[in-house]
């Protein structure tokens, strides 16, 4: 039993898994933040383009 405890304490597979999970969560969070920022900016730009087109006149 003592050997099992020593091996469990020295085993680093779990720590590596936790590192990858945290890294993946950070990447997903950054992607979500980037998406929100881009989506907000494009919505504003589309609104500005719509206003400019609506305000314009077409002459024959």
Mean pLDDT calculated for residue range 18-24: 91
Which pTM value belongs to this model?
A: 0.56
**5: number of CA atoms within 13 Å, CB side?**
2
Distance CA 42, CA 48 (A): 10
Nearest to 32 by CA among 18, 16, 24, 14: 24
Residue 5 predicted with pLDDT over 90:
no
How confident is the model over 7-19, as pLDDT tens digits? 767 776 677 788 8
Residue pointed to by tokens 């469990």: 8
Mean pLDDT calculated for residue range 13-27: 87
Distance CA 27, CA 22 (A): 9
How confident is the model over 35-49, as pLDDT tens digits? 998 998 898 899 988
Residue pointed to by tokens 């933040």: 33
Q: What pLDDT, on the 0 to 100 scale, is given for residue 6?
A: 72
């Amino acid at each position: 039993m003592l050997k099992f405890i020593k091996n469990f304490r020295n085993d680093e597979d779990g720590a590596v898994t936790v590192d990858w999970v945290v890294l993946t969560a950070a990447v997903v969070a950054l992607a979500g933040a980037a998406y929100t920022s881009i989506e907000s900016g494009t919505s504003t730009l589309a609104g500005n383009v719509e206003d400019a087109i609506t305000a314009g006149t077409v002459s024959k």
